């Protein structure tokens, strides 16, 4: 199984790098994880144009593969439920984190699941660390590792 994390970014802040590396190191011991940063340096006259352009970038990268989106309008799930989504997927799992303005409707409409971590909003760096922690936790749940305390 391979987990791919796609995320959109304009400027990479280095604030969360140590946390990301911490979880990436742990995850890669037991799981094939690919991180795909899609950069967008273009300027747009409207927020909607920006969202649509980023949506097309995502669709071009993912193609026809199934994917799970993260959006605050999505469904809240437990760590155990998320682990089941990953490990019952029969192959590749594609996770999508949108840009600063969210995800295009065309991306959300074709998602196999839309998950929300909270009604709150988080910086992209913090959210990626939280998502990587949940991927690591899912791996621990699947392998009965004591990191996840039931």
At what angle are helices 79-87 and 124-142 packed, to 10 degrees? 70
Per-residue pLDDT of the chain (150 residues; tens, 9 = 90+): 799 999 988 666 677 788 999 999 999 988 999 999 998 878 889 999 999 999 999 999 999 999 999 998 899 999 999 999 999 887 889 999 998 889 999 999 999 999 999 999 888 889 999 999 999 999 999 988 888 776
Looking up residue 94, the CATH number of its domain turns out to be 3.40.1280.10
Q: How many domains is the chain partitioned into structurally?
A: 1
Residues 6+ apart with CB under 8 A from 65: 92, 94
Helices 124-142 and 17-27 pack at an angle, to 10 degrees, of: 20
Does some domain include residue 110?
A: yes
Per the listing, tokens 């790098």 go with 17
**Other CB atoms within 10 A of residue 135 CB:** 23
Range of the domain at 64: 2-142
Cβ pair 68, 112 in contact under 8 A: yes
Model-level pTM?
Answer: 0.91
């Amino acid at each position: 199984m391979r987990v791919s994390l796609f995320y959109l970014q304009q400027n990479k802040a280095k604030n969360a790098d140590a946390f990301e590396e911490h979880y990436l190191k742990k995850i890669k011991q037991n799981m094939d994880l690919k991180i795909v940063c899609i950069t967008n340096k273009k300027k747009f006259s409207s927020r909607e144009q920006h969202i649509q352009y980023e949506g097309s970038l995502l669709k071009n990268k993912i193609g026809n593969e199934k994917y799970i989106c993260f959006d605050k309008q999505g469904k809240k799930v437990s760590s155990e439920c998320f682990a089941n989504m990953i490990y019952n997927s029969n192959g590749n799992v594609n996770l999508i984190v949108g840009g600063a303005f969210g995800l295009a409707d065309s991306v959300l409409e074709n998602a196999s699941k839309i998950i929300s971590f909270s009604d709150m909003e988080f910086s992209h760096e913090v959210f990626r660390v939280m998502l990587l922690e949940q991927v690591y936790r899912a791996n621990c749940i699947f392998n009965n590792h004591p990191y996840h305390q039931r």
